[in-house]
Amino acid sequence: MSAIPTTTVTQLPDDAVLVDVREPHEWEAGHAPGAIHIPLGELPSRIGELPETDDAVAIVCRSGGRSARAVQWLAQQGYDVVNVEGGMLEWHRTGKQLAGDGDPTIL
Domain definitions of the chain by residue range: 6-101
Span 6-101: which CATH code? 3.40.250.10
Mean pLDDT of the chain: 93
Give the model's pLDDT for residue 104: 66
- Dihedrals φ, ψ of 6, to 5°? -130, 165
- Cβ-contact 21, 66 below 8 angstroms: yes
Give the model's pLDDT for residue 101: 77
Among 56, 69, 54, which Cα is nearest to 12's? 56
Enumerate the active-site residues: 61
1 has pLDDT over 50: no
Each residue of 39-75: pLDDT tens digit? Answer: 999 999 999 999 989 999 999 999 999 999 999 999 9
- Dihedrals φ, ψ of 25, to 5°? -65, -30
